[in-house]
Structure 1
C-alpha cells in the first residue's frame, strides 16, 4: 500500500468482560494497542464497577468508547442463540447502551459506537428484522453513534437505512465461511491461533475492501499477541490507525 495516501483503519477489541471477582482478558495491556473498545454492558458479562473501570482506562489511553450489548446469558457468555423478537432486541440495546452512556457521562466520556455481542451480533447479521430493530434502537438513543456490524451484513444495511454511520467489521481471530459469515464457535476450526495467520487474513480482507474496522477478541489467550502483530503490520503497510473513522459519513440504501 502506498505511504503517500495512507488508509485509515480502526482496531477494536471486546473488553470489560469480567464481573464481580472474576476477571477475563488483559484489558490494561490490550487497550493501549487498539483504538476502539467494545465494553460489555452487564448482560453477557460486565457489571457497573467493571464498566466504570474500563471507561476510565479508555479515557486514559485515548480509546474510543463503545457499547457491547449482548443477550441475557451469562452462563453461555452471550454466545448461544435465543429466540428473541425484534422488540426484545430493541429493548436489550436501549437498556444496555443507555447504562454505558450514563457511566461514561459520569466519568467525562462519551459512547461513540455500538457493536452487538456474540450470538446477537451473528443473528442480526442475517436476520433483517432483528437488524432493523437494533439499528432503530441505536438511532433513537443517539443518531451520531456509529453502528459496527459484520462486513456486508444485514446489520450494516439496516444501519444505513436509518442514516447511521456504519463500520463494516472484519475479524483478526475468527475464520470465515465462503459466504462471508463467521465459522460457528461450535466447530474446532472457528478460531485462529497464529498471530501471523491473523495478519495474512486481515491484509486479505482489507485488500478486498471489506472492512473499516478490525476486531480482536479480548477474551482469547492470544489477544495481546494478535493485537500487537496486526497493529505492527497495518502501520508497516502505511495505514493510519484511528477510532470512529466514519464519523460524519452517512449513506442511505
Structure 2
C-alpha cells in the first residue's frame, strides 16, 4: 500500500498569509487544518475546507496549545482536563464547519509543541487520546512513528482509537527514532537526502539514522511541507516516488 502524504495547511490568519495551500492541495492525500489556536481563523478554515473538497483530500483537525503569538511552538503546563477541553473545542469547530460543506473529519493531528509533548509525555498523550475517545463519533489520531509504536498502539487500542503513524520526509532521525534536534547539524535534510529517505521508507520501511543505523518504522503517512515553490515541487516528486 502506497504511503499517504499529509501537510499542515490553513495556517494563514487575517491579512497574514502562510503557505502555498492552493499549490500543495492537488498533490497530497491528507490536509491537517489549523483550528484557530495557533493559526487559522473562520474564513481561512472555510476556504481550506473548500479547497480540500475540490481535490478530494481527506481532512484532519490540527489543534494546538492556545498560542497565536508563538505559532503553537511553546509548551504549556496544562492539566489533563484543560487539554481535553481545548482538543474538543478545536476539533468540534472544524468538524462543524466541515459538516456544513458536506464533508467528514477523519482524524486529528496535534500541532507543534502539543505534538512534541504528546510524543514525550505519557500524561499529555493520554489526555489527547481521552479527548478523541470521548468525542461523539470515532476519529483517528496521527502521531509519530517511533520505536515505541507498539506501546502507542496498545494505548490507542485500550481506547478504541485507530492510528495513523507518520514519518517526516525532510527530517533526520536520531538513533532512538526521535527526530534529531534542530539545534544539531543535519537535522533538516537537503532535497536530495529527503528524496533518498522517502525512497528508502517506501521500499524498505526503514530510515537511516544520524549515526548510520537502519531503523525500521511502521509508517502510514509522510509529512511534507509546502511553504515555498521549491517545497511544492519536492512534494510533486515525492508523490511520484510513493506512487511508483
Per the TM alignment, residue 117 of structure 1 is displaced from its structure 2 partner at its CA by: 0.6
Cα RMSD (Å): 1.9
After superposition, give the CA deviation of every residue in 1:11-38 in whole Å (9 maximum; x if it has no partner). 1111000100111111001000001100
Among candidates 65, 69, 94, match of residue 71 of structure 1: 65
**Aligned partners of 1:80 and 1:220: how far apart in 2?**
24
Task: Report SS of the residue matched to 2:176.
Answer: coil
* Distance in 2 separating the partners of 1:81 and 1:138: 20
Kindly state the Cα deviation for residue 179 of structure 1 after the two structures are TM-superposed.
0.9
Q: 1:186 to 1:32 in 2, by over 3 A?
A: same
With 17-26 and 148-157 compared, the bigger mean Cα shift is at 148-157
Runs of 5+ in structure 1 lacking a partner? 1-6, 237-253
Aligned partners of 1:143 and 1:164 also within 8 Å: no
Q: Is 1:210 matched up with 2:213?
A: no
Do the aligned partners of 2:2 and 2:242 also contact (CA within 8 Å) in 1? no
| Greater shift in the superposed pair: 113-122 or 198-207 | 198-207
2:238 paired residue among 230, 236, 243: 230
Task: Indicate how the Cα distance of structure 1 residues 130 and 221 shifts in structure 2: closer, same or farther if over 3 A, else same.
Answer: farther
Whole-Å Cα distance in 2 between the matches of residues 138 and 218 of structure 1? Answer: 28
TM-score (normalizing by structure 1): 0.84
Indicate if the aligned counterparts of 2:166 and 2:223 stay in contact, CA closer than 8 A. Answer: yes
Cα distance, 1:80–1:219 mapped onto 2, change above 3 Å: farther
- Residue 88 of structure 1: how far off its partner (Å): 1.8
1:174 counterpart residue number = 171
For 1:199, the equivalent position in structure 2 comes to 195
Tell me how far 1:191 sits from its aligned partner: 2.2
